[in-house]
Amino acid sequence: MAKTYSSLPTIQLTDKIELLKPLTASKYIAHIDDPAINVMTDFNHVTPKVISPNATISKAANEMKACQTHSLLVVDEENNSIIGLITTEDILGEKTTKLVHDKRIPHDEIKVKTVMIEKENVLTIDKEKLNIAKVGHLITTFKEHKQHYALVVAKKADTQQQTIIGLLSASEISRRMGVEITDDISWAKSLADLQHGSFDE
């Protein structure tokens, strides 16, 4: 006998009705002893922004501005694999300046692949480690490696295949904590007010 399904009861919309909007990370205040996973940009909910390695850095800058982000994942020409990360710091940094002034390469002709952080040098954290970490652990990690961004990967148990599932940003953490964590002076000055627990574990 075929299974039957009854109709669901329906309701009418009221005169005043709100549209639920996803909460953005910037609406949450972060503390040093909060779970680190709370400050991750989750690619399950936010589509990662990507760019080709052969695009110009001018195009990358325009993409960042349009998407209101400071970083883009660099994907291969087949759009199958991540090969690097480019940030506003890379576009405005020393490497770009040297190419323009020393090599006489016009800014508009510099390619993303020339100034990006290559895959092997991108700060990367395993999701399992992030799950048990605090925000303070992230701050220490950024400072130790002198980087402002980190990718988060999950690994399949059977194949160890990596999947990038999120992004961590020092500037995002700074905004949410209300202190510039990449500035050693301001960080040291504010640590006593922010610290609810130790992260030197």
pLDDT tens, residue by residue, 120-157? 899 999 999 999 999 989 998 988 888 899 999 998 87
| 186 pLDDT tier (thresholds 50, 70, 90) | very low
pLDDT value at residue 190: 47
Q: Which CATH number fits domain 30-194: 3.10.580.10, 3.30.70.980, 3.40.50.10860, 3.40.50.20?
A: 3.10.580.10
pLDDT beyond 60 at 10: no
Question: Are 58 and 157 spatial neighbours (Cβ–Cβ below 8 Å)?
Answer: no
| 199 pLDDT tier (thresholds 50, 70, 90) | very low
| pTM for this entry | 0.77
Q: How many CA atoms lie within 13 A of 130 on its CB side?
A: 23
